[in-house]
Structure 1
Amino acid sequence: MTTTEPKDLGAGELRARAAEALTRARARSVALTDAVDDEDLIRQHSKLMSPLVWDLAHIGSQEELWLVRDVGGREPLRPDIDDIYDAFQHARADRPALPLLTPAEARSYVREVREKAFDVLERVPLQGRRLTEQAFAFGMVTQHEQQHDETMLATHQLRQGDPVLHAPEPPPARSGTLPAEVLVPGGAFTMGTSAEPWALDNERPAHEIAVNAYWMDTTPVTSGAYAGFLDSGGYDDERWWSPAGWAYRTENGITAPRFWKREQDGWWRTRFGVYERITAAEPVVHVSFFEAEAYAAWAGRRLPTEAEWEKAARFDPATGRSRRFPWGDEEPGAEHANLGQRHLRPAPAGAYPAGASPTGVHQLIGDVWEWTSTDLHGYPGFAAFPYQEYSEVFFGPEYKVLRGGSFGTDSAAIRGTFRNWDYPIRRQIFAGFRTARDAGPGEG
């Protein structure tokens, strides 16, 4: 089995790539925080989330710790706030009570950190140290900022008040009538990566794994299909739910995806301050793992394993190799996937035919994070880098793996090997799913 190795770049190209990625991330952070007034920035819109001003200063704090102090060897700017913005020291619900930087102070701080980080980028050797090889530390910090930008976008979805974010509508379906499911052949493939320069520790190393043949939904499950589960009484029928899922549903009075409400003329939802009828053709979003699992059982199917998801997304039967992305090895373009907050909703099923995998599976990247049935774990040969808290402390049965990114995920923070994870009860994240089933004898 083989994988694609990204093109090696010279030091000048690496610096330019890192600078562009950092700049794009900062522009998004600024847009998300400038969209609201200072009162909204310091308010906690949900106990599940931090105040937006905490996220902004935390972005700067992590950049200072890794790029200014560690990579650059410079003197600390604000060692007095290290503890305040350490995500492991304070639960999100408790952060409003901390002596946080004011909005003006936070903006000034992140600007100063960025100036020093760019100076480090211009001067530091990009070889001789693992943390700086291929500008890894700059890529890690970029991905961290983009991940917090998506978290801030989720906070915007939770805030009350008039809409403050705006974006054009996603493209319409362009693929014509698609088959409901696609057969993915059985056999071994290369999962993970050892070559992707900005891949994080839990994506490594590349390793061979075999899966049996299976059928995978061609697109993520749509809101229209999910409404059928609701309208059939699926939320009130214990037989579709796991014991943990049923307990969660009943104890919390869950009756529909988060932000959905049944009106006399059907299902409506709130989306970034807009109350609107659900769009039947777009992937369902804001469902927990337990809800996805129950729908799959109702449909006579199951959630795919993480390995099945990655094989559908990367394996090319014609060449026997694993691609970087479903469509090939080039970076995501607007024709491939709904990423980067370009739109503020998932695109209809079939909107990105250019992004389909070799086996004909669509929209594996972007639109909605997809729940898998797999608990987060390290791959064979896993080694924590550059710190255990990035992923290793989350290994175990408490967290389920999500794949593929959402409309709120930037292209710098997603690829065919990228792994996300969360508690199976989480619904504020931009998560949906697709289902799978085992292939029969003689299939695949």
Structure 2
Amino acid sequence: MKAELLKKEGTKVSLKITVENDKFEAAVTKAYNKNKGKFNIPGFRKGKAPRVVIESQYGKGVFYNDAIELLFPEVYPEAIKELDIDPIDRPDLDVEEISKDNGLVMVVTVEVKPEFELGAYKGIEIAKVDNNVTEAEVEVSLQEMQNKHARLVSAEDKALEKGFTAIIDFEGFVDGVAFEGGKGENYSLVIGSNTFIPGFEDQLVGKKAGEEVEVNVEFPAEYHAENLAGKPAVFKVKVNDVKVKELPELDDEFAKDSSEFDTLAELKSDLRAKLEENAKASAEAEMRNAIVEKVSANTEVEIPEAMIQHQIDNMLMELNMQLQYQGLNLQQLLQMTGRSIEELREERREDAARLVKSSLVLEAIAKAEAIEVSEEEMNEELEKMAKMYNMESDKIKASLRETDIEDIKGQIKIRKTIDLLVDNAVIA
């Protein structure tokens, strides 16, 4: 295999990959053996026709595409490694020549990471962050625990208000016709949570258990379901139950029931210690983010669109995973908020571009400073992962693919790079 760089314009690179005829012929033979069973040739049992006979019937290049599909994943990584190219998107492939003399000649065009000059990244001035924990914050943390241990109890004599939970049956109609997905039974709805269409929950305020009400709303103009977008709807709602939170008393008994401590004073002391630990970590993270932003701002980079779109893909994937922990998914979020996937992607575009730029700058600094990851550092990271997932580190390591290991090394390298920036910063 021979690789040759043809041209580079901005972040677009064209390269020529030449595969020797013997190697290409071997791939064609593999393609023939893989696909010969698909051909019915008169005089031969299915799958038994010789390659030359199939080629005479369907053309000499009948197996070329399949052969190239077999070869490309092998020769392309070798070519980009040889030419020190760092692709960021799928390559476009054009077959230039197939001949006995020159073998397979392919021209590949692909978008790569941009080249740029690093700005100043040492001696950057950042403000020292001190996140002191107040008594009010301890009380808020204690109240959060109190709320987590609250019970929902029926309050049939009370009317719904914000913060109460309504247990409802509902069915929605547009132009007098029930629509798909507009019906539910014994649905638990927290008034004021803005879970439903704007205006829906407000019209339940003041209702009591057993009451029925017609709720009139209008779907947002940009609602994901085109048949409902911008249309007025009527929901027939029955309030089956009204529930309110019953909070436990904040005393020593609460401490015993909700924690490992015997007294409320001990519980509050532990909450303060944890808040102080979190505040310290938050302050460090804030300063690290600040220095990355300043260093990134010192460098001009033309960010390829493909990298921004890939970052948005990752952000939406993470969002979907977070939603799944809450029993939802991305499609349901769009439905509840009346937004389209295009709007959601555009909302995240600015953050995605900022993250991509920071990543590119940090990678460039790591390269300039020859920052590497030692085997010891890798093993320490695997030990942390093993502890997090309650597994043995050997089993964690065995489960990782090569790409996973490279990703972990990349994360460690970026972390070390930010450490270098902080160590060389002026913290005022």
| TM-score, length-scaled by structure 2 | 0.22
Higher strand fraction (1 or 2): 2
| TM-score, length-scaled by structure 1 | 0.21
The structure with the larger Rg is 2
Higher relative contact order (CA 8 A, sep 6+): 1
Higher helix fraction (1 or 2): 2
